[in-house]
Structure 1
Amino acid sequence: MIYLIYDDNAYHLYSDTVYQLGPSSGSDIFLPLLEDITLSVEGSGVVLLEKSYSTGKHCVALSDEVTVTLLIFEAVTKYLLPDSSLYISGEAAAALQLLDYPSELVLTLDSDSASCYSPVPYYLNGKWTKGKQPLKASDELIFSQGLVLSFQDQLLSVQSLYAIQTALLPLTEAVAEDRASEFHRSPRIILREPEGKVTIASVPTDDEGKRQSLLKLIITPLAMIVFTGLSYVFFRGGGMLMMMMGMSVITIGSSIHSYFSDK
């Protein structure tokens, strides 16, 4: 997180936001300047007066009379709070040791109330204060030396520019694995009504190849008639031969009728 400190106020700056610093009524942060100056928060850093600032403490002179302090922290660390007071300093005996921290403070955590004591001034929810002050959940303590504290539900959130050594139990947050890039949506099946006219026809058959020519249909009955006629001439047959010839004629008639019916 990023903070801007000037005089009696400390401001929390939000990511990817542009601020106007200056004396006009439209300024986001009032500063006694001759004209507005633009400050841009880009990712985890700040661009001010065409210069970029990253993690750390930076004192930036905006004019001969106005100098602001930028506190840029890389991460927030959370710890489970003890049931009693919490001593924070650069000393090895501190419950929360900040290596090379130039001051000290005590957080008193009673069941009914909480308070903070620091010999150096600090900012409580953005307003300058000093000494001992009562605290409530979600209050934010900002120390211009490079330290920000807040607590809620037995959790202490620490942003520090100093290395931390402590026996307090850190809070580990499970981070869900991002596998969105591996996700592929199944193809969708879209049913549409046919645009053209649908015609329902009978299934074609294979009768075309089975149709016989007229000659093939009558050649056998004709042969029987010829054979019957010859038998009548040479053997002088009687009624039986005439009946056979009549049956052949009937067969020829049936074949011709079937042929034209298939057409």
Structure 2
Amino acid sequence: MPLDAYITSKACVQPELSQNLKRSTCQCVVLIYYNLDQVHFGKFRNVMIANNPIMRAYGNGEFLGVSKDVCCVEGVFPKNQNIGILQFDHVEEATKCIDSRPDLREPHNYGGYDLFILPLCSPSQSWPGYRFIQIDVYEPKNSEVFTKYVNALVPIVTRHGGHVIAGTTQTGYFMGMRRMSFFFVVQWRSREAFFDCNSEADSVFCPPKPPPPPPEDPNIVTRDDRCARSGIKQCACKSQKVSELNL
């Protein structure tokens, strides 16, 4: 089953420990970023399918699919990368499974670039019904500000029909140490719902700046102009309201 993914990367704010969303499930997903220059789509898929029986033995693991259409909405996502996704009943079982399989643990076997094991905050919905997945990656710097942001974002996502399944910094370390990141993952039924939600979120969190003031009219004379013309270097009057001038 192919998955479409929306990737956004926002350098928002980094706490010493950011606020993870409260969990109501033990499920987790495994996001595998792989390089299309090193391995083609078919080989990656075949490696995952070959490991499906092993995954099922570890907490009902399952290969859900590969994204064929990665749309980078904000930030940078390399064009030669793609994403595969697995799902397990438990983080511990997912970790054991990846650890036990060299062809999964060693990225050169499938062009792996990075791997994240994300504990879910709520059970995932049927993937055929929710065919689109949004992945936001944040590097928070202020815990209080970031927590307020996430708490305000979740209701907006829900109102537009999105299903939030992850909001966590607990991403595991399989392919080298990395800076702490907060992953926010949402399932969507359609692209349109995602873009509608994204537009509302932008209007709330990134309101447009007020227009710049109009340029000064050279035909309007102020007190400063009168002082300058009179040879006075510093004007004693403080107000510059044109209506107070006696011309």
Q: Given the two structures, how large is their TM-score scaled by the length of structure 1?
A: 0.23
Q: Which has the higher helix share?
A: 2
Larger Rg: 1
Structure with a larger share of its residues in strand: 1
- Greater RCO, CA 8 A, separation 6+: 2
Q: TM-score, normalised to structure 2's length?
A: 0.24
